[in-house]
Chains A and B, each alone.
Chain A
Amino acid sequence: MRMAASGSVSADDILARARTLREQLGPGVHDRITQSLYEKAVEVVSVGVRVTGKPKIDWDLLADKVLTSRYLGFPIMLLGLAVVFYLTISGANVPSNLIATGLFWIEGQLILGMNAMGAPWWLTGFLINGVYRGLAWVVSVMLPPMAIFFPMFTMLEDVGYLPRVAFNLDRLFRWSGAHGKQALTMGMGFGCNAAGVISCRIIDSPRERMIAILTNNFMLCNGRWPTIILLSTVFIAASFPPVWSSLVAVGSVVAIVLVGVVVTFLVARLLSSTVLKGTSSAFHLELPPYRRPAILRIIHRSLIDRTLFVLGRACVTAAPAGALIWLLGNVHVGETSLMSHAASFLDPVGHFMGLDGIIILAYIIALPANEIIVPTIIMGYLGAGGMLELNSTGELGQLFTANGWTMLTAMCVMLFSLLHYPCATTTWTIWRETRSVKWTILANLMPLTLAVLVCAAVARVGRLLGWG
């Protein structure tokens, strides 16, 4: 360390002195200085600016008062979230079934074609029951909800609601030592964590940007909420009367999202009081005027830029994963397939977390893309050539129950899905954005540890209460 100038005082003396003074002054020096600026500004304006016009009704201001109000802000946000999910869940059902029927009809034709050409069983199995079925699953499960969810989300962005959400959440970010703009990056993460991580560039302070990157994983991404929606519908909602079931399904999806948000704040707080010490930096968030949404632009942006992009990525990863699943199910060592071997090996670990060996195996296989977790689990249970063709969610429930699932298992799978680790693309993106192997590893280990702990705790408590 070199001395800046000769003299009796060194830089370290001054910094030490400043630290002592800072401690004497207590927290919030920055805020106090900022406040003095604002007070002065108010004073100047009160003397020098006159508004002579009759105040017309300022609709923007009125809307802001309601949407960012202390009491109504949060309930409105939750309601909005619930409505978006409700429309997504109920709207996606019919097209999902149609697409599935169509794609599996094509599958039948392909198999007939392969057989006609005299292809050996293993080639047909590998290509059609493996690769093609993996793709078909992903497309039919993911395309409809994305095509509904993304435009709705883009619309909220376009009318100017998202900055208000950021405004509402600012107090919580301040508490957790993170940056208020993280709310926007979390919004992106809802779509895709890789995109969410890239969007963290809008946060200038390196410390707070790192927090935003490390916690983006807790935003339920597109690849994961089909799992959550499916399990909410099949397990949680099915135990309620049909009238309530879709409400209950939406409720449990919202609950899982909220758990993700709460975990984000807790982890951010933990990080900013340990490895990433510091307080939130102040920032200006201009609440832009509300605008009439430009429908065509929304459709273009959400369908082309987001839906097709995410779907394309999912397909690229689903195809090889489908192939791998097929191989694991069909290559036998001794009497049983590789998959059964691996599953029985992993069973104790799974049981500890309220899961089982097949589920753990599915999470390992699904590292490149979270989308294929449920298909992999199903395939693991069927134990034979390829992922299942499912006609109704009821059958799915029966299959799971037959394999020892309870409400507790479903809860643990949902929690593990929410928490575990980012997918391969996101991990790669984290490395690219941070250029640090250390942080990239932490970005995986931290959520994994959390997922294991939470699931183990829930499983333990659940078993004590006799849920499973």
Chain B
Amino acid sequence: MSGCSTCDSCEPSRSASQASVQLGFDLDVDRFDAVVALAGNPNTGKSTVFNALTGLRQHTGNWPGKTVSRAEGLFVYAAKRFKLVDLPGTYSLLSNSTDEEIARDFLLFGSPDCTVVVCDATVLERNLNLVLQILSITDRVVVCANLIDEANRKRIALEARAIEKELGVPVVPTAARKAQGLDHLQQHILEVATGQRVNQPKLPSLQPQLQAAVDELVPELLSLVPGLPCPQWVAMRLLEDDQKIEQALRDGSLAELVQRLSARQGQAVA
């Protein structure tokens, strides 16, 4: 939780009216209606999905203050402009590697309007770990079950509707290499990002003792840091003795991030 400079870079105008000229051409990534984060395990074809969606309208740089590369792109669907932010490929958000911190900070404080979690359909079970962790941070999620062609070849059949029901968020099978299912994916992104569809994620149930401990910490956290997004998640990290979160709470940087976040959201509404 290092000062979440990650959010500074998503500050630029959320409304299409404020055209930025700094990039020129058509790849004006700084003009958009919604921010979409692209998360996923490594080796799931995440970059292929990113490229298939954004085409040439992308640019790369670094995450502020980090040496991890950051790619952003733009796609237009149903006359709306979506900024797609490619998060580092991670297996989890629970250990403290730089990659995981970047992804986690962006999900917590970058306030993406929708998060697409790219999964490898041939080993869905392994990938669901990250999906479930992201669901405990944000409910604005679309699961993209990629490499579905390969899964079919291995005679693995995904029943998207059934998985959707179990998770409480849309599940879209895709084969990004062959540009299959992308339309469908964009449609779901649109629905989730604009709030046409409100997900009701089904999180794994915690052991009663653990749940009780979380419930006890949540109101205290909210009274210390009003407006804290997903206090349950923060409470769980504290129970796990997550040093970074403890530090962020102690030195007030967590509160600062929340303030910046709400200031930005206030702006967007105004």
Q: A residues within 8 Å of B by Cβ? A: 1-5, 7-15, 17-18, 21-22, 24-25, 29-30, 32-34, 36-45, 47-54, 204-205, 278-279, 281-284, 286
Contacts and interface: CB of A to CB of B under 8 A. Distances in A.
Interface residues of B, number: 58
B209 A25 contact: yes
A52 B155 contact: yes
Interface of B is mostly: helix
A3 B94 contact: no
A3 B206 CA distance: 31
B22 interface: no
B97 interface: yes
Contacts of A14: 217, 220-221, 224, 238, 249
Given A278-B243, A284-B92, 6 more contacts: A7-B224, A14-B217, A33-B236, A49-B159, A50-B157, A52-B156
Contacts of A39: 204
Contacts of B43: 286
B106 interface: no
Interface of B: 42-43, 91-92, 94-98, 124-126, 128-129, 132-133, 154-160, 162-163, 165-167, 203-207, 209-210, 213, 216-217, 220-221, 223-226, 235-236, 238-241, 243, 246, 249-252, 254-255
Contacts of B243: 278
A21 B216 contact: yes
Given A4-B224, A45-B125, A11 B159 contact: no
A9 B166 contact: no
18 contacts: A3-B252, A5-B226, A5-B255, A7-B223, A11-B250, A14-B224, A15-B249, A25-B210, A25-B213, A29-B210, A36-B204, A36-B206, A47-B162, A48-B160, A279-B241, A281-B96, A282-B95, A286-B43
A5 B249 CA distance: 10
Nearest to A53: B155
A22 B241 contact: yes
Given A4-B255, A29-B210, A53 B154 contact: yes
Contacts, number: 162
B64 to A, nearest CB: 19
Contact of A15 (B95, B216, B236, B250): B250
B213 A37 contact: no
A12 B250 CA distance: 7
B270 to A, nearest CB: 24
B240 A5 contact: no
B217 A11 contact: no
A44 B224 contact: no
Given A9-B224, A11-B252, A15-B238, A51 B156 contact: yes
Contact of A13 (B167, B205, B220, B240): B220
Contacts of A8: 223
B88 to A, nearest CB: 12
A36 B124 contact: no
B250 A37 contact: no
Which residue among A2, A40, A43, A54 has the maximum number of chain B CB atoms within 10 Å of its CB?
Answer: A40
A11 B228 CA distance: 14
Given A50-B159, A204-B98, A41 B240 contact: no
A12 B235 CA distance: 14
Nearest to A39: B204
A22 B209 CA distance: 11
B224 A17 contact: no
Contacts of A15: 238, 246, 249-250
B207 A38 contact: no
Contacts of A30: 94, 240-241
B157 A52 contact: yes
A173 to B, nearest CB: 14
Contacts of B225: 4-5
B217 A18 contact: yes
Contacts of A51: 155-157
A450 B102 CA distance: 40
Given A2-B252, A30-B240, A204-B96, A44 B207 contact: no
A279 B97 CA distance: 16
A8 B240 CA distance: 24
Contact of B224 (A11, A24, A41, A54): A11
Contact of A282 (B94, B162, B213, B251): B94
Contact of B206 (A33, A47, A282): A33
Contact of A29 (B166, B204, B221, B240): B240
A38 B156 contact: no
Nearest to A207: B243
Contacts of B207: 32, 36
A41 B132 contact: yes
A5 B250 CA distance: 11
A32 to B, nearest CB: 6
A48 B98 contact: no
A42 B167 CA distance: 12
B204 A40 contact: yes
Contacts of A204: 95-98
A281 B94 CA distance: 9
A59 to B, nearest CB: 15
Contacts of A47: 159, 162-163, 165-166
A280 B220 CA distance: 28
Nearest to A33: B236
Which residue among A2, A12, A37, A205 has the maximum number of chain B CB atoms within 10 Å of its CB?
Answer: A37
A5 B213 contact: no
A33 B240 contact: yes
B197 to A, nearest CB: 19
A42 B224 contact: no
A49 B255 contact: no
Given A2-B252, A283-B95, A44 B157 contact: no
A2 B251 contact: yes
